[in-house]
Amino acid sequence: MNQAINIFITNVNNVGESFWSHAAAMFIQSSLLILVLLAVDFLIQKKVRAVFRYGLWMLLFVKLVLPVSLASPTGVGYWLGGYFTSETSIANLSPQAESVGPIANNVSQGQIPFQTPIMSTAGATGIELTPISWQGFVFLGWLVGMGVLVALLVQRVYFVKGLIAQSKPASKRVLDILEECRSQVGLRRKIELRLSANSLSPAVCGLFRPVILMPAAVLEKLSQDKLKAVLIHELAHVRRGDLWVNLLQTMFQIAFFYNPLIWIANAMVCRAREQAVDEMVLVTLKSETNSYPNTLIDVAEMIFTKPNFSLSLIGVAESKKALERRIKHMLNRPTPTRSKLGALGLLSIITIGVILLPMGCAPGSRTVLTAPVEVGPKDFPFVNDPKAIGGWRAVDFVKDIEDFKPDRKSFKGDLFLKELFLLDGGKTNWAFTWTKGLILHQGDKTASKYLIKEIDGVKFMFFE
């Protein structure tokens, strides 16, 4: 039983180390990008349209899916060295040297001495349990945090579904106005409009079958012109694909919840999105643009009278403070003549992305790794080695076997591979298989030699 637990804990520790290496580098890189985008947004918010600022914030989502090691001569990291890359944390887990070994692309050529087996070949009893490393605890904590946020998201989804189920279809008069607005926005797909008894803001939800939820009390008090402005606002969200972007935001916020700057960036994206939609509404309304800010104020007075505003849906008003900022933004800027980004704006965003997104260092600023020789199971069929079967604990890292001293650890860092279990049939607790004299890495398709040697009466395995 302890053997299975040890294998599980070892896997958790190994995954935790990989997770920490990536998460730490992504934390640094994404935080730097957010700080730059915050500064740029502050400087240009009164000079450019919101749709351009919204496009700039989309660079963050691109960054979060790119590898942290991505390097380009156009990127800042290429010239600043390895300050932003994951190799800075991997160096704490494995030594720096000149060539690559089969454990991972960043592990150097050398020997890892493993102490005499910590379990017997079969039916072992009294096996010492492997402790969970701090990286393993970090990884497990991340899983718990994600689980909680996913549960809250699922709860919100079912709550919105309940609102839709309890709502009623709109009258023909209102649906005719909706059709007119849909034509103005240039939206071809059908949109459903339903009336809710809840005092929430007019909002749109549903990725594949969008539904506009309109509070019945708000609908009764709005004039036809103001109702058109509200409906155009919701239809603009659908036209722009904001529902899908909002889903992407939510997924990234859950995955990177540990970074407080991600939450700030999420709020900035929501602000820029609403301002960009306001610009689209103003362009669509044309001669009726002066009434749109008053419409927002009227809707706010109706929905902010009761503290039932925690849906986080895409709607006309997301909070009272956000609404005040949007109205101030509209009043302090000239009425836009177009709402699309345009070729020049898109080119500018791509240029900025080419500069800011690659944060990997130049190839010359890190150790050049030799490409491993690709091998497979057919090259090395399984041959049993009874002396090797068991669990081995890593004790040091040396360049040559002769450098190893049992009473003195030469490597001061944290060993990347802490334990290795060689099981019957050529299986291990890692992404390795083994045969007599060799350990094969299935992911990298590489082979490494091992040698079992007795020193001062104690058996050690030297893993290349």
Please report the domains of the chain, with CATH numbers, ordered by start residue. Answer: 1-93+341-368 (no CATH), 97-132+372-464 (no CATH), 141-335 (3.30.2010.10)
> What pLDDT does residue 74 have?
83
DSSP secondary structure code for residue 39 in this structure: H
Query: What tokens appear for 20 in the block?
Result: 């920490």
Q: What is the pLDDT along the chain (464 residues), one digit of tens a residue?
A: 666 777 788 788 888 888 988 899 899 999 999 999 999 999 998 888 989 999 999 999 999 999 888 888 887 766 665 555 443 332 222 332 333 333 333 334 566 666 655 544 434 445 567 788 888 899 999 999 999 999 999 999 898 899 889 999 999 999 999 999 999 888 888 899 999 887 677 888 888 899 998 888 888 888 888 888 889 988 999 999 999 999 999 999 999 999 999 999 999 999 999 889 888 888 888 766 666 776 776 676 666 544 443 344 565 555 666 766 777 777 667 777 788 888 999 999 999 999 999 887 665 444 333 344 444 555 677 888 888 888 788 888 887 888 888 888 887 766 767 778 888 888 887 767 888 888 887 666 778 888 888 888 888 888 87
pLDDT at position 145 is 95
| Torsion of the alpha carbons at 85, 91, 96 and 99, rounded to the nearest 10 | -60
458-463 and 112-115 strand pairing? antiparallel
Residue 275 near residue 50, CB atoms below 8 Å: yes
- CB burial class (10 A; 0-12, 13-18, 19+) of residue 47? exposed
Rounded to whole angstroms, the Cα distance separating 94 from 102 reads 13
For residues 388 and 377, what is the distance between their CA atoms, to the nearest angstrom?
19
What letter does residue 333 receive in the DSSP assignment?
A: S
Rg (CA), the chain: 30
HEC profile of 128-143: CCCCCCHHHHHHHHHH
Pick from 140, 130, 84: which is nearest to 417 by CA? Answer: 130
